[in-house]
Amino acid sequence: MSKLNSVNPSNQALINGQPSNSLSVFDRGLAYGDGVFRTLAVENGVPNHWPLQYQKLANDCRALQINCPSQALLLEDISLLFGMNEHAVAKIIITRGESVRGYSYSADIMPNRILIKSSLPQYPASNSLNGVKLHLCELRLSHQPKLAGIKHLNRLENVLARQEWSDATIAEGILLDVDGSVIEGTMSNVFARFGNILLSPDLSQCGVSGLARERIINNAHVLNLEAKVQKLSLDRLMRADEIIICNSLFGTWQAIDFNGKKWSKQLLSEKLSALLQQKELNHV
């Protein structure tokens, strides 16, 4: 597997605003995955789409009854860790805080906020230009409506799914749920275009609702597309005019090779990537 992601000294972190690369072993993020995260680009000191990212972070914290730190604190952290001439990736992790053994916790538990800086991922230019090859994952996502949509720290399903391929020409794996419905990629969301309908899978039972997905859904009309969120079977996905995957770091890529079928490269992914780069878009 790639060594690109091995830890090197240029990776830096703040914990609760203090420079530190180490977290208490009593943190419930480690013990139980009891926390949430966001991943976003920071350009010249400015976190991309910050109000929307913070809104999702706060919503995810609320769903788990974690006290979300204020925007002001998180923005101060970002200004401390990211230089004004730097383009890099911020990962924000909010854990419930520290406790010793046991799933219960004190009412006055204090969350830990962790900010990690890493370099922008270096994806092959051909991913955007020519499209990508996708793997159909064998692992099926389980249904847990109480956690569905939340970007929480329980990501073993994603880890196991990512173990399924080592072929570097495969850019991403597509995950189905236990019922065989298409849900998402291991690190991305999925769209299927049928004519002028842009369909994204329903995530009420499982999956993570990324910001790029939501921004595309809310702004597809700009490209004369009608966005719909529906259950999506694999059979139906295979009949799509185009399959597009997205996340906040790479924008969008079109699938040209998936599950034994090939698609010719079209132009929607470029248009959607351009749309995602606009700073001011509708967000309902």
Residues lying near its own copies in the complex (CB under 8 A): 1-7, 11, 13, 15, 20-34, 37, 39, 64-65, 89, 91, 93, 95-96, 98-107, 114, 116, 118, 121, 139, 142-144, 146-147, 152-163, 178, 186-187, 206
Distance CA 49, CA 62 (A): 20
DSSP string, 99-163: --SSS---TT---EEEEEEEEPP---HHHHHH-EEEEEEEEEEPP-TTTTB--BS--HHHHHHHT
Helix (H, G, I), strand (E, B) or coil at 189: strand
What are the residues whose beta carbons fall under 8 Å from the beta carbon of 166, sequence distance 6 or more? 1
Return the number of the residue (156 or 284) whose C-beta is nearest its own copies.
156
| In the complex, minimum distance from the CB of residue 118 to its own copies, in angstroms, rounded to a whole number | 5
- 90 by Cβ neighbours in 10 Å (0-12 / 13-18 / 19+) ranks as buried
CA count, 13 A, side-chain hemisphere, 130: 9
Nearer to its own copies, 21 or 230 (CB): 21
Nearer to its own copies, 14 or 217 (CB): 14
Q: With respect to its own copies, which residue has the nearer C-beta, 99 or 266?
A: 99
Q: Which residue, 32 or 263, has its beta carbon nearer to its own copies?
A: 32
Contacts of residue 35, defined as CB under 8 A and 6 or more positions apart, other chains included, come to 28, 29, 64, 66, 93, 94, 95, 96, 111, 112, 152, 153
Distance CA 141, CA 179 (A): 9
Task: Select 161 or 174, whichever has its Cβ closest to its own copies.
Answer: 161
Q: Residue 176 Cβ, how far from its own copies at the closest point, in Å?
A: 13
